[in-house]
């Protein structure tokens, strides 16, 4: 079984002035009525550090969000980022049609927000958590061995804990040339509990983070850029998961 327990698209920028005012709440009800999401409020922790006096102050900010009725889809508008996150309610991989449906909703939602509030973004990201579980012992070992490069002392011993971490950069085009950080972390999990509280046999947790390089701070991404990024990053994510599955002959 291979399925996501978290899928998130994020845009970064200056969104501090998008506040949960009565006017904004009413306008968001109207604009998102066809998407099954309603306005809400969440708390964002803000840390202010005074380096001169060596003091710090924690502050809770009231921030605007939009949530589905079952709370499995959430659009969180923080002061410096907006996250659209989906937490699937079952343990099935999305079909291509379902993934396209979700991505269109995400792209449309960011378009509505950025155009309504006249915002642009300086960074884009995809994050996902994928479970690989209920697999045969040989499949587990094949995946384990394929992504292991142990130091000599570990070669003939049973590892008590195992994970592997890869980082690479890829050049893409979204309007202009962009450098993507592509990060994959694979962790062994002896017992996997997903957000639906189902418990599975041992397997792997795969965390994927694909993001435009933070060194470029220009606010250059408009609403139309997000759909392009989603398409590119989803292709990379699919290839990563495909290669991991191939290592265990899960395809």
The whole-angstrom separation of Cα 185 and Cα 215 is 22
The gap from C-alpha 14 to its chain's centroid, in whole angstroms, comes to: 19
If 0-12 CB within 10 Å is exposed, 13-18 middle and 19+ buried, where does residue 114 land?
A: buried
Q: Say which range, 23-37, 47-61, 89-103, 177-191, has the weakest mean pLDDT.
A: 47-61
Rg of the chain, C-alpha, whole Å: 20
Question: CA separation (Å) from 9 to 69, 118, 130?
Answer: 20, 19, 15
Output the six-digit token pair for 23: 């006017």
Contact assessment for residue 174 and residue 150, using Cβ atoms and an 8 Å cutoff? no
Task: Check if the beta carbon of residue 113 is closer than 8 Å to that of residue 77.
Answer: yes
Residue 170 has pLDDT above 90, yes or no: yes
Please count the CA atoms within 13 angstroms of the CA of 189 that sit on its side-chain side: 22
Residue-level pLDDT at 89:
78
Model's pTM, two decimal places? 0.90
Beta bridge partners of 242: none
CB 96 within 8 A of CB 26: no
Percent of the chain with pLDDT over 70: 91
Give pLDDT tens digits for 50-61. 556 666 667 789
């Amino acid at each position: 079984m291979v399925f996501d327990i978290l899928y998130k698209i994020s845009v970064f920028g200056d969104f501090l002035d998008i506040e949960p005012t009565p006017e904004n709440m009413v306008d968001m009800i109207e604009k998102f009525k066809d998407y099954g999401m309603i306005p809400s409020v969440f708390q964002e922790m803000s840390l202010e550090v005074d380096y001169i006096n060596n003091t710090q102050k924690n502050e809770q900010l009231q921030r605007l969000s939009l949530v589905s009725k079952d709370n499995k889809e959430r659009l969180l508008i923080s002061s410096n980022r907006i996250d659209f996150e989906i937490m699937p309610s079952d343990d099935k991989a999305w079909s291509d049609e379902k993934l396209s449906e979700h991505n269109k909703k995400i792209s449309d939602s960011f378009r509505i927000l950025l155009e309504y509030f006249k915002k642009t973004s300086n960074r884009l990201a995809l994050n996902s958590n994928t479970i690989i579980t209920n697999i045969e012992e040989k499949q587990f070992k094949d995946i384990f061995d394929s992504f292991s490069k142990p130091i000599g002392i570990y070669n003939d011993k049973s590892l008590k804990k195992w994970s592997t971490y890869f980082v690479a950069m890829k050049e893409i085009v979204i309007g202009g040339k962009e450098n993507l950080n592509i990060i994959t972390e694979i962790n062994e999990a002896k017992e996997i509990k997903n957000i639906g509280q189902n418990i599975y046999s041992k397997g792997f947790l795969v965390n994927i983070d694909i993001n435009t390089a933070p060194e470029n701070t220009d606010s250059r991404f408009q609403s139309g850029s997000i759909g392009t990024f989603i398409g590119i990053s989803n292709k990379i994510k699919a290839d990563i998961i495909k290669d991991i599955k191939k290592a265990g002959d899960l395809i």
